[in-house]
Amino acid sequence: MKVAVIGGGSSYTPELIEGFILRAGQMKVDEIALVDIAAGKTKLKIIGELAKRMLKKKGLSTKVTITFDRVAAITDADFVLTQFRVGGLDARANDERIPLKYRVIGQETTGPGGFAKALRTIPVMLEICREMEAYAPDAWLINFTNPAGMVTEAVHQFTNVKAIGLCNVPINMQQMTADILEVKREEVNMRFAGLNHLVYGTSVHVKGKDQLDVLIKRIAAGKNMNMKNIYDAPWEETFLQALRALPCPYHRYYYMMDDMLEEELKTSREKGTRAEQVKKIEQALFMTYRDPALDIKPLELADRGGSLYSEAAVSLIASIVNNDHAIHTVNVPNNGTITQLPDDVVVEVTCMVNREGPQPLQIGKLPTACIGLIQQVKAFEQLTIEAAVKGDTQKAYLALVANPFVPSSKVAKALLEELLEINRPYLPQFELKKQASSV
Amino acid sequence: MKVAVIGGGSSYTPELIEGFILRAGQMKVDEIALVDIAAGKTKLKIIGELAKRMLKKKGLSTKVTITFDRVAAITDADFVLTQFRVGGLDARANDERIPLKYRVIGQETTGPGGFAKALRTIPVMLEICREMEAYAPDAWLINFTNPAGMVTEAVHQFTNVKAIGLCNVPINMQQMTADILEVKREEVNMRFAGLNHLVYGTSVHVKGKDQLDVLIKRIAAGKNMNMKNIYDAPWEETFLQALRALPCPYHRYYYMMDDMLEEELKTSREKGTRAEQVKKIEQALFMTYRDPALDIKPLELADRGGSLYSEAAVSLIASIVNNDHAIHTVNVPNNGTITQLPDDVVVEVTCMVNREGPQPLQIGKLPTACIGLIQQVKAFEQLTIEAAVKGDTQKAYLALVANPFVPSSKVAKALLEELLEINRPYLPQFELKKQASSV
Amino acid sequence: MKVAVIGGGSSYTPELIEGFILRAGQMKVDEIALVDIAAGKTKLKIIGELAKRMLKKKGLSTKVTITFDRVAAITDADFVLTQFRVGGLDARANDERIPLKYRVIGQETTGPGGFAKALRTIPVMLEICREMEAYAPDAWLINFTNPAGMVTEAVHQFTNVKAIGLCNVPINMQQMTADILEVKREEVNMRFAGLNHLVYGTSVHVKGKDQLDVLIKRIAAGKNMNMKNIYDAPWEETFLQALRALPCPYHRYYYMMDDMLEEELKTSREKGTRAEQVKKIEQALFMTYRDPALDIKPLELADRGGSLYSEAAVSLIASIVNNDHAIHTVNVPNNGTITQLPDDVVVEVTCMVNREGPQPLQIGKLPTACIGLIQQVKAFEQLTIEAAVKGDTQKAYLALVANPFVPSSKVAKALLEELLEINRPYLPQFELKKQASSV
Amino acid sequence: MKVAVIGGGSSYTPELIEGFILRAGQMKVDEIALVDIAAGKTKLKIIGELAKRMLKKKGLSTKVTITFDRVAAITDADFVLTQFRVGGLDARANDERIPLKYRVIGQETTGPGGFAKALRTIPVMLEICREMEAYAPDAWLINFTNPAGMVTEAVHQFTNVKAIGLCNVPINMQQMTADILEVKREEVNMRFAGLNHLVYGTSVHVKGKDQLDVLIKRIAAGKNMNMKNIYDAPWEETFLQALRALPCPYHRYYYMMDDMLEEELKTSREKGTRAEQVKKIEQALFMTYRDPALDIKPLELADRGGSLYSEAAVSLIASIVNNDHAIHTVNVPNNGTITQLPDDVVVEVTCMVNREGPQPLQIGKLPTACIGLIQQVKAFEQLTIEAAVKGDTQKAYLALVANPFVPSSKVAKALLEELLEINRPYLPQFELKKQASSV
């Protein structure tokens, strides 16, 4: 069994290595191929060496390969994991900071930030998929690269690769729910439905009892249902009671748009945007990783965010390899699962996973109070994907207009121009289009 | 043939009378019964006398009845026209002014204004429908009362009345399109689709030629595509070209939310809200109507807004009566016409109208750039209707959260409390609920 | 305005010419190009001369062109009418006779007969459409070639041609309904829905009154609701009352399968199949057409079947040319019109026709008692089309299995082998496939 | 934990008891209440005594209650199992024999046999559900009474009872597949979709490999894929290859209608119908059960049919009780699982079962070759259910017309009259209707 990790030089990789170590008893991995672009050479080497030390310490025979040849890494892989970041943290900083100039939430996965990231990322992902079609046609693509939902949807619509989009939000919501209800994570029967970073917990049962009301009460009373990288604005009890569903931490950007914007403006002034903060954390992390004596995942990695990330990824791979029929909430083609959305879009839903991959549990109709927002954001996503693949400026414009954070077509236009300009090195599809149309 | 007009004392009524006069050759009306509530006694009398003078001048034998007994007016009617306003212009002023306190657009048909109006109006409309079921079971209800889409949807979901929701926006868009293209209105083949006050012109043909691009260019160059009561913020050409559809004048509230809000804030400070302005116009109008020498529709009525209102209404009635198969854009049950919306909601679409009523022309899928907004607003409408019918405060809360103008659940809550409080005299359904639940 | 008629040598053509003559006041036709294959040379010449005499008699300047060059006929046409028959009446005789050997209804438009005809016809029709895309890209294709529904569906799924499938069944049902109700055809408001030769009249109103019950009673009492070429087995009143819809004459094959089969067996023994009878009628007709003194449509043509055929076709063309918004029941892409069928299939439904073509009137859900049969036959059609286009023997096999007339997969297999064998000269797509797979 | 068994006097009951014994380690059952009608007194006693002996032998403390008071049995039950037969085997004999008079397949679960059984059974089942709503509102109904799909659909549409329809066909298909592929049943990943007794195996994987082709080849070569009570007509390889799905044993009635009919006619002449054979087997079985020395399930029960019946039922109950997330193929509301069928019908699909009940794995679209037949039969089922609940003779007539076995409305009518007449004692809903309409 061979696992290729694209963006292998990411600071997250030690998490992933730890995940494989923890499941070594269930699943034997022969090779982990870490691949990155030339610009990430130093980082990749540091990570590669740390990974080797971590595996060695546990006496595992898994071979770690370091390469800058993506095709070589992909060839004959059983699983391809994608966690690359086109343009690096500098591009993310732009994604976050530029919208704030227009009093629009700067967020790298939803809103105009996620939009710009999708434009940069999707073409690269489709290239990777072309290579997979040629050199590893039976491999599974496990994608964490954000915006994970849109990227996975593009793969399903434009390639033949078997792809699963993965996010650590649902697994964390389940863990936090278990913590709040004071039971183990496996004791909570939870159903999730929605889009990536716009997913709702639609039911919560423990030992056959509906615990949604209890959960709502405790969250409103201050119990934690948030993730590291999101401002922890409190949920109001009457709202959660009316909604009768558990919003994900990212829902704050929609349901508390005014406060979240003010907080982002304040933080970006005082501490820099999240990307700028992460940059510092990453530098420190790599200093730590470099230490030849380090042969475990360092505790500081927790500050980086990404809680339960490797648990989600490695347990998903184990479910496929071991045909264990476990429950995972992942991004898959809708295909009628949520009947109010088109068949060919990607949704984030609870699945049973076996050797044939994720089998979504049927949902039917989501409540009216949830579906309107989901449909609006899905329209934004579809327009963004079309713009990203075709280099279509008009669709890009309409995507931003459709985004709930953008107050007007005027702001959308200004934002679009600025985002296209600053991301120009990463958006060849738009340049080619312009040349073509100028002929 | 008997026509009952509920809210007969409205300043619009002379428009309607003129409409029947203009079509007297095509359709013989035996009786027009004008009914209003006791509080509107003076106005109703003025209108009734003017109507009689107008008909007499043209030598028509149509009988005008004035009554405060709604059942008497409805009994044996062939058409029931509803144009009443629960709470009058004072309530409208609240609808417009209260949201502005929260920097939310105050608009009486969309947004929190339309929401409050729906809560007041729907229960009264359902009462009227119960009376129709009993006393005029074969009659058509032609509803102009705003929010016309939501009110008509409530009627279709909760009664057996044959109802058509009517708005003068599509007919005016067609007229303005004809003016811009310098042809007659009947020469323009236009298709409309969407919701009331959220309707798009999806195609424009003249003599077999697609004229949408020409139209867009001319509108962007300053040709009029607006209605009296909406601030005329200009449409940008690149946006309309990207959209490839003609937004309705009310779309400005969504696509230019920032500018429209600023304008409303400014106008309300300087000139009062639209309701406050209309109040003055109405007072002047009734002074004019009172004049026993007046026996035509006075020109000043044009300032009131409502252009082509009677043309839309009377030609629709004539299509039913005369089985003339003409094209009208009206509010009808979706029933699969727009496949991305539920079957049982009401949509505003182009129909062929015959003796059996409006037959919607099939649409299928609307473009992604239009449908996301429509779905979001429809969710708001569905929640509002459910709240209005059941007096359900939670659904009312969720409705405001779902409204695109409302930036957060926090603002929604504050707005809800204030709107419920100020409208308390008109919202018995919420009071009863509260009493019931306090037991 | 140029009209190309493919299969111009058909005995039906004088009907069509008469249709254009009758509408000469509404629509000026500059050229009618009659085209046929070389084998039909004699017939085409006879028809061409008769057409010229007919037009001359009426003093019309319409030019009649006779050609064997299909591209020349199509080039710059505004309308292309297709009424050709691949394999001629001999092939039809096989379509009708072979199934009878297996005690399966032999019918040239539905059942295994229509299946074989579709396999022969669809590839030729797609060739014609490729020529239209190149030489008359704006032209409308008006297709009468049977099976009209399947042929039109293939055109919509595999070409960009604007195509309308036409059948004279709905117009005849409307005419017979008018005759039975003793009113004029235009006074009947009727809605049709279903598939070609499987269409139901779903409502019948005259002057606002529902007349379906009256109609059913009179049909059950013996009033004519049948067409020339179908055995006139009587409809039972209790069945029509339960159904609450008007089945088309061809529905007898489904609802009276046992009696219709026995009748076909008997007739084919005693008088020959319908094709064999038609062959004789045709010979006589062409003898008549040959007469240089004949300059009108001869009365004998009525025996051929095809009543109101030219009325349906020419009035449809006039609706497009004159933008007259008239009502026609034609075969168009479903696109959500009947919500229980896929979007991309072709259905036969009531449309308003304007310059932009047929605009289907929305239907929504058909009654359970109708939709099951329609869905089953549509599955048969979809499989047949796929088989015809791809030369796929497996899909052809499954199509016959899905056909309601075929009692078992065993019979389907035997039938398939025999039909493929006897039609071999007309089915190159299956031969090529076989060669390809034998490599 | 209390289990109520309605129709407890059935000869199947010892199977069920054995099932609970085999799972005693996983699930503690406190009480099994066997209830039957007074006419079944002798049988119920025999069964009750045998059950007690079987449980005692294994040293289990489960209490067995015997009662003729259905409400008492239902009260506080956790699971209600229904396996009753209205009219007994005599009624079944009619279901099978009467259609044969018209050369229509006589089959007690599909076709006119299943139709008659549904008319008799559904009203009784709705009575039971009313009792469950009152006396065991949280209980699960596990229904085996045939036609299991229709009966379960009626429960879901007309009551609030949580109901699962169960059939032993899918579990047997999985077992036979495992036998043919020479692996254990749990090693086969299989997906099923369709309706009860019209279900297809849509995919077969073993250890990640698609084994459908291998399976098809072996079945065509003679490996067993049939059930005891169905004539084992062989499947042809080319048909299965074209279909690319595994038909269920009952599919023979549709795909081999001619041969199955001939076989039924022959058997009924020579050996009597299945009901008549079963009657003899049952008499012998009860003779065996009576033996006070018997304290295990006798081997002869296998001849009765119903293989793996208790395994299916008891493992399903265990999945709910133990929240074990196992895979079961059961009858549940469609709710979008198969997107080509209405939401509110019941389908037989593969589900993951947890404490909250069956969670269907999403399907989306079934292949065209399967869906047409399923839709046609579903229309038959919907009409039958409506007829059964409302006593509506017209719907009953349309149901029979829609059944694929019935060749014409004429035969449907004759069959309907005879079936209503002979079942008159069990069809009070039709009698009441007749009286009402005769007033």
Q: Which residues of C fall within a CB distance of 8 Å from B356?
A: 189, 203, 205, 208
- Which chains form contacts with chain D, at 3 or more CB pairs under 8 Å? A, C
User: B136: Cβ–Cβ under 8 A, 6 or more apart, which residues?
Assistant: B4, B74, B75, B76, B77, B78, B80
Of the candidates C364, C211, C335, C355, the residue with the CA atom closest to the CA atom of residue B332: C364
- Which run of H or E residues covers position B238? helix B237-243
Residue tagged 């071999």 (tokens): C424
Whether the per-residue pLDDT at A305 is higher than 90: the answer is no
Residue D426 pLDDT more than 60? yes
Q: Tell whether the model's pLDDT for residue A340 goes beyond 90.
A: yes
B238-269 per-residue burial string, b: 16 or more CB within 10 A, e: under 16: bbbebbbbbbbbbbbbbbbbebbbebbeebbe
How high is the mean pLDDT of chain A?
95
Report the C-alpha gap between A217 and D320 in whole angstroms: 28
Cβ proximity of C374 and D375 under 8 Å: no
Q: In whole angstroms, what is the distance from residue A275 CA to residue A282 CA?
A: 10
What integer pLDDT is reported at residue B436 of this predicted model? Answer: 65
Does the beta-carbon distance from D408 to C369 stay under 8 Å?
no
The model's pLDDT over D106-158, given as tens digits with 9 standing for 90+, comes to 888 889 999 999 999 999 999 999 999 999 999 999 999 999 999 999 999 99
User: In this model, does residue A191 exceed pLDDT 60?
Assistant: yes
**φ and ψ of D6, to 5 deg:** -95, 125
**Selection from B359, B370, B367, B377 nearest residue B320 by Cα:** B359
Question: What residues have CB less than 8 Å from B130, skipping those under 6 apart?
Answer: B159
In Å, how far is C292's CA from the nearest CA of chain D?
Answer: 50
> Which chains form contacts with chain A, at 3 or more CB pairs under 8 Å?
B, D
pLDDT for C278 equals: 86
CA–CA gap between residue B90 and residue B87 (Å, rounded):
7
Q: What CA–CA distance (Å, rounded) separates B73 from B190? A: 37
Q: Nearest Cα to D109, choosing from D163, D145, D81?
A: D145
Given a cut of 70, whether residue C436 has pLDDT beyond it is no
Residue ranges in D303-392 assigned as alpha helix (H): 309-322, 368-390
Q: Are the beta carbons of C376 and D380 separated by less than 8 Å?
A: no
- Kindly tell me if the per-residue pLDDT of D428 is higher than 60: yes
Q: How is chain B split into domains, by residue range? A: 88-107+166-272+306-433
Query: Does B186 lie at the interface with C, CB-CB under 8 angstroms?
Result: no
> Is the CB of A205 inside 8 Å of chain D's CB atoms?
yes
Tell me the pLDDT tens digit for each residue of C332-389.
999 999 999 999 999 999 999 999 999 999 999 999 999 999 999 999 999 999 999 9
More confident: C438 or D408: D408
Q: Which helix (H) or strand (E) holds D328?
A: strand D326-333
| Type and span of the H or E element at B191 | strand B188-195
Please report the pLDDT score of residue D438 as a whole number.
57
Q: Tell me, what's the pLDDT at C437?
A: 62
| Segments of chain B scoring below 50 in pLDDT | 439
Which among A327, A356, A362 has the least Cβ separation from residue D335? A362
CA nearest B239 in A: which residue? A409
Interhelix angle D13-22/D309-322, rounded to 10 degrees, is: 40
Is A383 touching B (CB cutoff 8 A)?
yes
Exposed / middle / buried, residue A325 (Cβ in 10 Å: 0-12, 13-18, 19+) = middle
CA–CA distance, B300 with B280 (Å, rounded to integer)? 12
D2-165, CATH topology level? Rossmann fold (3.40.50)
Angle ∠(C414,C419,C423) on CA atoms, nearest 5: 155
Category of C244 on φ-ψ map: left (φ > 0), alpha (ψ -120 to 50) or beta: left
Q: What is the pLDDT of residue A27?
A: 95
- Nearest-CB residue to D407 (from C242, C258, C378): C258
CB B360 to CB C361 under 8 A?
yes
Give the pLDDT band (50/70/90) at residue A437: low
Tell me the shortest Cα–Cα distance from D430 to chain C, in angstroms: 16
B contacts of A243 (beta carbons < 8 Å): 398
pLDDT digits (tens, 9 = 90+) for C384-435: 999 999 999 999 999 999 999 999 999 999 999 999 999 999 999 998 777 6
pLDDT for the residue numbered D272: 86
Choose from B105, B263, B408 for mutation: most chain A CBs within 10 A: B408
The answer to whether D109 touches D250, Cβ cutoff 8 Å, is yes
List the one residue out of A383, A388, A391, A384 whose CA is nearest residue A437. Answer: A391
Residue A40's identity, in one-letter code, is G
Give the integer Cα–Cα distance in Å for C332 and C14.
26
- The H or E element spanning position C201 is strand C198-206
Which residues in chain C have Cβ-Cβ distances shorter than 8 Å to D241?
394
Euclidean distance between CA atoms C408 and C326, whole angstroms: 44
Q: Which two structure tokens, joined as six digits, stand for D106?
A: 């006589």
User: For D340-358, what is each residue's pLDDT tens digit?
Assistant: 999 999 999 999 999 999 9
Q: Which two tokens stand for residue A311?
A: 């648990």
Active-site residue list of B: 250
Does this model's pTM top 0.90? My answer is: yes
In total, chain A counts a number of residues equal to 439
Q: Which two tokens stand for residue D85?
A: 């037969």
Topology, domain B88-107+166-272+306-433: L-2-Hydroxyisocaproate Dehydrogenase; Chain A, domain 2 (3.90.110)
Least confident of A408-412, C292-296, D335-339: C292-296
* Cβ neighbours around C324 below 10 Å, total: 14
Question: Cβ–Cβ of C205/B355 closer than 8 Å?
Answer: yes
Other Cβ atoms closer than 10 A to D135: 18
- CB-closest option in C259, C373, C386 to D408: C259
Classify residue C204 as exposed, middle or buried by CB count within 10 Å of its CB (0-12, 13-18, 19+): buried
pLDDT at site B438: 56
Alpha-carbon distance of C93 to C105, in angstroms, equals: 13
Count CB atoms within 10 A of the CB of residue A424: 11
How confident is the model at residue C29, as a pLDDT?
97
Distance CA C310, CA C300 (A): 15
Token look-up 């690359």 returns A84
CB-based contact B80:B74 (threshold 8 Å)? yes
Four-CA torsion B109, B111, B115, B116, nearest 10 degrees: -80
Contact D241 C409 (CB under 8 A): no
Chain A residue closest in CA terms to B392: A242
Task: Tell me the nearest-neighbour CA distance from C250 into chain D, angstroms.
Answer: 14
Mean pLDDT confidence for D10-21: 94
How big is chain D, counted in residues? 439
- Check if the beta carbon of residue B396 is closer than 8 Å to that of residue B437: no
> Among A153, A236, A343, A398, which would you mutate to test the B interface (most chain B Cβ atoms within 10 Å of its Cβ)?
A398
Going by pLDDT thresholds of 50, 70 and 90, the confidence category of residue C274 is confident
Tell me whether B365 touches chain C (CB under 8 Å).
yes
Question: Is residue D386 a contact partner of residue D57, using CB atoms and an 8 Å limit?
Answer: no
Q: Is the dihedral of CA A104, A105, A109, A111 positive or negative?
A: negative
SS3 C97: helix
Q: Which of B95-104, B213-222, C304-313, D6-15 has the lowest mean pLDDT?
A: C304-313
Q: Do chains C and B touch (3 or more CB pairs under 8 A)?
A: yes
Q: Do chains C and A touch (3 or more CB pairs under 8 A)?
A: no
Token code pair at residue A94 = 């732009």
Return the residue of C nearest to B362 by Cα: C362
With an 8 Å Cβ cutoff, is B280 touching chain C?
no
When CB atoms are compared, the residue of C354, C359, C364 closest to B343 is: C364
CA dihedral for B421, B422, B424, B427, sign (positive or negative): negative
CA distance B13 to B40: 13
Which of A202, A362, A371 to mutate: most D Cβ within 10 Å?
A362
- Interchain contact, C323 vs B189, CB within 8 Å: yes
**What does the pLDDT read at residue C7?**
96
Q: Which of A189, A205, A356 sits opposite D205 (nearest CB)?
A: A356
- Give me the pLDDT at residue B275, please: 85
For residue range D300-337, list pLDDT tens digits in order.
Answer: 887 777 778 889 999 999 999 999 999 999 999 999 99
pLDDT beyond 60 at C438: no
A413 with B239: Cβ contact below 8 A: yes
> Can you spell out the DSSP letters for A140-173?
EEEE--SSHHHHHHHHHHH---EEEE--SHHHHH
Contact with chain B for residue A236, Cβ under 8 A: yes
**Quick check: A113 pLDDT over 90?**
yes
Q: What is the pLDDT of residue B227?
A: 87
**Confidence (pLDDT) at D437:** 63
- Report strand pairing: A357-360 vs A346-354: antiparallel
Identify whether the C-beta of residue D346 lies closer than 8 Å to the C-beta of residue D156.
yes
